[in-house]
Amino acid sequence: MKYPRPIFGDPSIPMVDSEISYTPIIVKTPKFDTPITARENFRRAAARDNPLWVPNSLTDFQSLGANDIIAHHVRGMQIHSDFLRPATENYDFRDWFNTDWEWVVSAGGAMLKPGTQLLADICDWERVVEFPNLDEWGFEEKAAAYMKNYDPDKVMHYDIGRGLTERLVSLTGGYTDGMLALAVEPEACTAFFERYADFVIELFDRINSLYPLDMVTYHDDWGTERDTFFSEKMFVDMVLEPTRRIIDHIHSENVIFQMHSCGNITRFAPYIADMGAEFMQIQRRAVDMPELKRKFGNKTGFMAGIEGLDEGMSLVEAIHHTVDTYARGGGVYLALGGGDERELWTTLAELYAYSREYYDKEQGRA
């Protein structure tokens, strides 16, 4: 079936406010009449179970960042970077593990403040590291206010923040000391990772009790754009099992798991797929995602951007190319941001209509 592409400004199509994830920016987007809700369709995409169209993060999600769920800071600390805070100059903050960070405007994110080293010896982690007391942060108060505007037709998504190796790096003072700890004190690192996995599970349970979560994104950067920070053996010996335990627990609550990892982590992709992560949020310029889709698309999915614009394709051509590359069998959604209203309209209309046609054909409805 051929689906219509309403022209920009069609008065029969209502316009709604859509929030660009992890920003205070609201944009106007068209709301198309869909046969099922965005939430149901996304869950089908995640399960690779006959989605009707390719979802997108702009209109289909309601997303909370790691720091967005607290009513107040505790003793001058906050959970994570505050992506909703407008910043025109760099500023410092302390996270809830008592480590100091600098928000760098040019990078659009936070960097560990030079000289920060809470844990000089990983063997001392049980004595030095103070895990946050979740009762102090006002989760319930914040959730009560948020849920007044909760949309049950959209995906409820929470970004749970720093993972095992990222937390190790932040506590030991940076990647040099963090990787040295992995190499020299594997037993201590493994013990710390198991304890930190317990904390991530405790945090997830608290948030999941307050918000009807559909998906959690978990961050653990494992590489540079050239290769991984540590070997496959180190990954298997220390990182794999506590990560798997986190994923298994999240899945036990019927919540979708998205693995975020920057860098060229190609060597770890089979493990992410085998652990059952429904989506990989990985760095396209460092990883051949179309090849990973071909290899592992029957096990895992991908967050993708629109591909082909930098190769001279028109917007419509690029949307077709992206759907053709990643949509097979489900297991994909697109990360969309802001831009010109007309361009957004074209993007959303073409993505919805073309991907519906794609899945109609794939699922035998064409």
pLDDT of residue 25: 87
Instruction: Tell me the per-residue pLDDT of 316-329, one tens digit each, with 9 for 90 and over.
Output: 999 999 999 999 99
Instruction: Tell me the per-residue pLDDT of 146-182, one tens digit each, with 9 for 90 and over.
Output: 999 999 999 999 999 999 999 999 999 999 999 999 9
Rounded (5°) CA angle 55-60-61: 120
Go through the domains of the chain in sequence order and give each one's CATH number: 15-69+113-362 (3.20.20.210)
Two tokens, residue 221: 């950067």
Tokens 């932040």 correspond to 170
User: 125 and 119 in contact (C-beta within 8 Å)?
Assistant: yes
User: 54 and 355 in contact (C-beta within 8 Å)?
Assistant: yes
What is the mean predicted confidence (pLDDT) over 64-87? Answer: 93
Instruction: Tell me the per-residue pLDDT of 247-283, one tens digit each, with 9 for 90 and over.
Output: 999 999 999 999 999 999 999 999 999 999 999 999 9
Alpha-carbon span 357 to 203, nearest angstrom: 41
Alpha-carbon span 328 to 146, nearest angstrom: 35
Residue 365: pLDDT over 90: no
β-pairing verdict for 215-219 and 155-162: parallel
Work out the mean pLDDT of the chain and round it to a whole number: 96
pLDDT of residue 164: 98
What's the predicted TM-score (pTM) here? 0.97
Residue 22: pLDDT over 90: no
Residue 366: pLDDT over 80: no
Q: Residue 205: CB partners within 8 Å, gap ≥ 6?
A: 253
Question: How many Cβ atoms from other residues are within 10 Å of residue 31's Cβ?
Answer: 12
